[in-house]
Amino acid sequence: MNCFLWVLRSLRDLRLEEVSVVIAFEVESRGSNKVAIEIAKSVLRDGRLQSYLALGGPSWLHDLIQTEVTFVNS
């Protein structure tokens, strides 16, 4: 929701008077976001920096992504 408020404030600050903003939400099961949840947990647990994924990420992440790809493609 914060990103939506940021958009509205930015549009106001730019003094744009006629703008259409469309927003949509989808409910996802917890299982469908497993990779994102595990990344977030590892950042909090291990004090990881944002760039650790850019450096290749941990091996468990590669395994988790491969498992998810296999599941989706089957």
CB 68 within 8 A of CB 35: yes
Per residue in 7-44, pLDDT tens? 989 999 999 889 888 888 888 787 778 888 888 888 88
Q: How far apart are the first and last CA of the chain?
A: 35
CA atoms within 13 A on the CB side of 74: 6
| Mean pLDDT of the region 50-55 | 71
> Tell me, what amino acid is at 49?
L
Query: For position 50, what pLDDT does the model report?
Result: 67
Query: For position 13, what pLDDT does the model report?
Result: 94
